[in-house]
């Protein structure tokens, strides 16, 4: 066989890419998220949070970073999908020291079925709880989160919105390792508030990983999430707003609407 006849070893950049690696680079940033969780917890409870449950944990990137941040910390990650958990065990946890590995447990389950062990913090990040489209389901989930918390525990979730959130949009962003992350709202139904979103990845050679991730969600509003948290048994809720022009999220009760906004919503047990 001549060199010319040899099949290409390489293929396109898209065919060689791993969607979980790209997601971690483009979407996740555990350190500021953990700093925020601790800042709010300290302010509310006067101590640092130690135990963390990452609901919808996928590859457990955040749960692992949590544990790495302090030797006393523990984490439980819960996800329905065995494939992503296996990826996390192999690529995220296996590269850590035994001391880190033994403080993270991963559970393949529905978040509606896991209420132990009790923890200081339950987190549902990157909007994952929007999979619950009925009010009864959302309240049922928040009740489980409430039951999973220690007596002074806090629940954290995030939410996006604004005028651009409810129109079809394709938003590309260049990432540092040379690929482009594309966030797409394919459709929004104003009758149900259902929104269909995708993540695509584009590469320098023109190749693309289309629909690397797809999210079929209900875009709940901030007051709906707060009301459901209270209905589920939380004593209080806080909204922390991402001020684009300032350093850090701030707790607030009034803001002007924007093209796009991002908040954390905290449930206080």
* String of DSSP letters for 198-238: EEEEE-TTS-EEEEEEEEEEE---HHHHHHHHHHTT-SEEE
**Smallest distance from ligand SAM to CB 65, Å:** 11
Q: Specify the residue, 28 or 105, whose C-beta has the smaller distance to ligand SAM.
A: 28
CA distance linking residue 140 with residue 161, whole number of Å: 23
Contacts of 256 (CB under 8 A, 6+ apart): none
56 is an interface residue for ligand SAM by CB under 6 A:
yes
* String of DSSP letters for 69-136: T-TT-EEEEEES-HHHHHHIIIIIITTS-HHHHTTEEEEES-GGG---S-EEEEEE-TTGGGG--SHH
Contact status, residue 14 vs residue 207, Cβ threshold 8 Å? yes
Task: Tell whether omega for the bond before 222 is within 30 degrees of 0, i.e. cis.
Answer: no
131 is an interface residue for ligand SAM by CB under 6 A:
yes
**Smallest distance from ligand SAM to CB 218, Å:** 13
74 is an interface residue for ligand SAM by CB under 6 A:
no
Q: Specify the residue, 48 or 107, whose C-beta has the smaller distance to ligand SAM.
A: 107
**Smallest distance from ligand SAM to CB 121, Å:** 14
User: Hey, which residues between 230 and 269 contact ligand SAM (CB under 6 A)?
Assistant: none
User: Interface with ligand SAM by CB under 6 A: which range of 38-46, 120-128, 235-243, 257-265?
Assistant: 120-128
Per CB under 6 A, the list member of 35, 99, 110, 221 interacting with ligand SAM is 110
**Smallest distance from ligand SAM to CB 35, Å:** 15
208 is an interface residue for ligand SAM by CB under 6 A:
no
178 CA to centre of own chain = 23
Per CB under 6 A, the list member of 13, 22, 40, 58 interacting with ligand SAM is 58
126 is an interface residue for ligand SAM by CB under 6 A:
yes
80 is an interface residue for ligand SAM by CB under 6 A:
yes
């Amino acid at each position: 066989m001549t060199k010319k006849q040899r099949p290409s070893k390489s293929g396109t950049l898209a065919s060689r890419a791993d969607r979980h690696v790209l997601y971690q680079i483009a979407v996740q940033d555990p350190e500021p998220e953990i700093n925020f969780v601790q800042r709010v917890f300290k302010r509310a409870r006067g101590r640092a949070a130690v135990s963390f449950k990452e609901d919808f944990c996928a590859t457990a990137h955040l749960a692992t970073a949590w544990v790495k941040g302090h030797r006393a910390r523990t984490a439980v990650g819960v996800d329905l999908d065995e494939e992503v958990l296996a990826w996390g065990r192999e690529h995220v946890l296996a590269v850590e020291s035994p001391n880190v590995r033994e403080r993270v447990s991963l559970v393949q389950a529905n978040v509606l079925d896991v209420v132990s062990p009790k923890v200081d913090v339950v987190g549902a990040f990157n909007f994952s709880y929007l999979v619950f489209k009925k009010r009864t389901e959302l309240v049922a989930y928040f009740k489980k989160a409430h039951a999973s918390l220690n007596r002074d525990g806090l629940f954290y979730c995030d939410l996006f919105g604004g005028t651009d959130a409810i129109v079809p949009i394709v938003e590309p962003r260049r990432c540092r390792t040379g690929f482009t992350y594309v966030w797409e709202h394919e459709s929004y139904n104003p009758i149900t508030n259902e929104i269909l979103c995708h993540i695509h990845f584009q590469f320098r050679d023109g190749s693309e990983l289309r629909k690397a991730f797809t999210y079929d969600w209900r875009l709940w509003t901030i007051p709906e999430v707060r009301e459901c948290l209270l209905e589920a048994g939380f004593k209080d809720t806080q909204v922390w707003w991402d001020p684009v022009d300032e350093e850090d999220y701030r707790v607030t009760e009034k803001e002007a609407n924007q093209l796009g906004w991002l908040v954390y919503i905290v449930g206080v047990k």
